[in-house]
Amino acid sequence: MTTTLISYARCSTDRQDLTSQKEALIKLGVKADRIYTDHGFIGTKRERPGHDQALAAVRHGDTLVVLKLDRLARSVPDARAIGDELTAAV
């Protein structure tokens, strides 16, 4: 089975740029078309389209890659809930 790297990047404001996050993820081996993003969404909002797409794209054996945990989850309990969701889904 081949492992696919799926990633998620987010910046909170429209003034911020996702370029450095995307470049770092590509250097880690993530293919550009597997980087899901949200731009202008603050971390306190759970409804983030790119976030949902990234989690939905993860299949059994895949690896979810984020540069910083705060880009993915709002809190430690939220990170655990995401982990539980992924575990249950695959």
pLDDT value at position 44? 59
State in words which class domain 5-89 has: alpha beta
Burial class of residue 62, CB neighbours in 10 A (0-12, 13-18, 19+): middle
In Å, how far from its chain's centre is CA 63? Answer: 11
Query: Per-residue pLDDT for 30 more than 90?
Result: yes
From residue 10, give the alpha-carbon distance in Å to each of 20, 33, 75, 89.
11, 15, 15, 23
The model's pTM is 0.86
pLDDT value at position 50? 92
Burial 1-17 (b: 16+ CB within 10 A, else e): eeeeebbbbbbbeeeee
pLDDT value at position 47? 72
Q: Provide, rounded to the nearest whole percent, the portion of the chain with pLDDT above 90.
A: 63
| Average pLDDT score, the chain | 88
Active site residue 12: yes
pLDDT value at position 27? 97
Question: Which one of 7, 12, 20, 75 is the catalytic residue?
Answer: 12
